[in-house]
Amino acid sequence: MNNFALCPLQRGYTPEVANNLLEQELMGGFARQRVQFVNNTHTITASVMLDDGMKQQYFWAFWRSHQSNPRPFLWRLIVDDVEALTYVCQFIAGSLRIDERDGKVYSVSFGLRVKPNNTGKEFDQIIIDAWNEGNPIKLFNLLEKLVNEDLPSALGGL
């Protein structure tokens, strides 16, 4: 699987997080909801700056390669986490646009379907429980003190 090497621009970077629910509005109260899909894809509009000839040549080669043989590729993005993770992506047909042009420098934007990176229900529940207990920063500071101060003291230089 190919890795896309260019970094996305922060402007024009709009993820629409996957929705796995089917919802039916009711006359009053909460809507009726149920899980309709499992691992539905995120959709993203991303942009990259092609500010030199090498980047332009790479982008167009990568794009043409995936137009003649549509297949998933890997790209580091920030979607539903706090840091950039590698996601499996697919270009959305007909979504490529050439945006700002300033002489030989320009940006392109395109749509992507992105497969979610699931961290796991247990990990998510640990985070939720830490917040439900009060101040999670206090809890994590206690763990940091335990690992970095108390444990080395307890081992006594072993």
Q: How far apart are CA 8 and CA 2, in angstroms?
A: 16
H, E, C per residue of 79-95: CCCCCCEEEEEEECCCC
Nearest to 42 by CA among 88, 93, 107, 83: 88
- CATH 2.40.30 segments of the chain: 1-117
Matching CATH number, 1-117, of 2.40.30, 2.60.120, 1.10.4100, 1.10.287 = 2.40.30
Structure confidence by residue, pLDDT tens digits, 104-140: 899 999 999 998 877 667 777 777 787 787 776 766 6
Structure confidence by residue, pLDDT tens digits, 12-56: 777 887 777 777 888 888 888 788 777 778 899 999 999 999 999
Beta strands in 1-150 (DSSP E): 14-16, 21-24, 32-35, 42-50, 73-77, 85-91, 97-102, 105-115
Q: CA neighbours within 13 Å on the CB side: how many for 19?
A: 7
